[in-house]
Structure formats: C-alpha cells, structure tokens
Structure 1
C-alpha cells in the first residue's frame, strides 16, 4: 500500500508556500508599522491634552441668597504661574440664564477655591460652570 503525500504538489493549487511566507512577513510588517503609528498618535494626543489644559475647574456648590442673588463656589486646578478665569452662570427654573459672572484666580498656587455672588434678573434655581481658561486666552 502506497503512502499518501503529506504536502500539496508545488504550484498545483495557486501560490507557492514561499509566496505565502513572503506575504505573511509583509502583513506582519504592515501591522507592526500601523500599531506603532497608533501608539505614537495616542501618546501625542494624551501629552498635548494634558500640557495644553492649563486651568480646569469644578463647581463645588451654590447657594441662593435671595430672588436677585446667588453665591457660586468653584474649585480650580492650574499651573502655579498661570492666572485662571472661570465663567459661571445662574439659571432659572425654566433653564434660562438669569445671571453670569467670572471668578479670577491669580494667586500663585495650583489648587484654589473661590466664589462669586451673581446678581440675577429673577430667582435662580441652579448654577453652572461654563468653562475655565487662562487670563491671556480671554
């Protein structure tokens, strides 16, 4: 009884095995290059986001003082040499803006708390931090 061949005859069914190996190497190389490019892009995007964001703020609370005033409190993280300005707004129950103001943070510290009392057109029911920037970006 004759033993069946274990490999396909060379060239009989399309490409040869040497072409498959070459194609595999090319695909691995392309995958490696694309993977390195993706990692480099993600690293660049992360570093640029962190270094460009010089001032970040968070609304820590508010207190409605009267029908015409609301006190808004903000916590800020910034670089020591940066001067930060945060904009806050007061909203009525229906969502309309009834007051707006800014808080300036120019102390040489990286973590600060501040508050501002806003005059409102009608009774405010909520406050919102709309954003923080450095003073030179205004």
Structure 2
C-alpha cells in the first residue's frame, strides 16, 4: 500500500532536521557543569562540619541542675566558638539552655558547664556549635549593683 501524500502547505513537512553535531557537545558540557555545581553544593551542605560539639558525659546534680561535659572539634582553632547546650526532662521538654564560649585554642577542646533547669532534668546534651559568637559572650561582664 502506497503512503498517502498530505498537503504540505496545510500540515507542514514531515521531514525533520537533525540538530547540528556541535549541539550535542554543548548539551553534554552544560550537563557536566550542572553536575559539578550540584556536587559542590552537596559537599558543602552534607560534607564534614567545620565545627562539631559532642557530649562526653552528663551528671544530674539535683532537681534543677545538670553538669554537661563536652568536646569541641574544629577546623579553625584560631577562631572562638559558641556552643549551645541544653537539658531535657523525662517528657522530652527542653528545661534548660545555655550558650558556652569556647575561646580560640586547640583543635580539640574539652569543656564543662553547669546548667540550671526549670524542672528535673534527665539528660544534658550539646545542641550545636558555631563560629558565630554573639557579642555578649565576648565582652567582659559589666559589674552589677
């Protein structure tokens, strides 16, 4: 059976043009660049943290305080850091929170702090650490009275 011809002025031509060979290379290069950008962004967001705090021990001192011992590992020991520690109660509520200044020093630093709580704590933990130290932690305390 012979193929039926359709009017080209009404339906257009069936013959499609193939894109030039260089277009494939341009698309491939663009895909490689996009892949590299995605890899860099993923590494920055999911790679190792530049600073990390880890709780090493905690001790419940009484119904309203807990001592938290923790270790800070950082890539830039010449920079001070701010670590946020918190205590939680039996029902999971956060019952205490405190910022702890970690002065510039060694790559790995051990710190200890006592945290006052609003009700009986059952655990103490490091919530996180950052190089963004608030000004109120770095200034000398003003005398009260």
Name the TM-score, length of structure 1 as normaliser: 0.68
Tell me if 1:69 matches 2:65.
Answer: yes
Q: For residue 136 of structure 1, what is the aligned residue in structure 2? A: 133
Q: For residue 29 of structure 1, what is the aligned residue in structure 2? A: 26
Q: For residue 120 of structure 2, what is the aligned residue in structure 1? A: 123
Q: What SS does structure 2 have at the residue aligned with 1:38?
A: helix
Structure 2 regions of 5+ residues with no counterpart? 1-13, 136-145
Number of paired residues? 122
Task: Return the structure number with greater helix share.
Answer: 1
Q: Structure 1 residue 71: deviation in Å?
A: 1.3
Q: Structure 1 residue 45: deviation in Å?
A: 5.8
Aligned with residue 55 of structure 1, among 44, 51, 74: 51
Structure 1 regions of 5+ residues with no counterpart? 1-12
CA distance in 2, matches of 1:136, 1:116: 17
Q: How does 1:58-97 map to 2 (within 5 A)?
A: 58-78=54-74, 79-97=76-94
Q: What SS does structure 1 have at the residue aligned with 2:39?
A: helix
CA distance in 1, matches of 2:46, 2:106: 21
1:87-133 Cα distance to aligned partner (Å, 9 max, x none): 11111111222222222211411111111111222210122322212
Q: What SS does structure 2 have at the residue aligned with 1:101?
A: strand
CA distance in 1, matches of 2:56, 2:29: 46
Name the TM-score, length of structure 2 as normaliser: 0.66
Tell me if 1:14 matches 2:10.
Answer: no
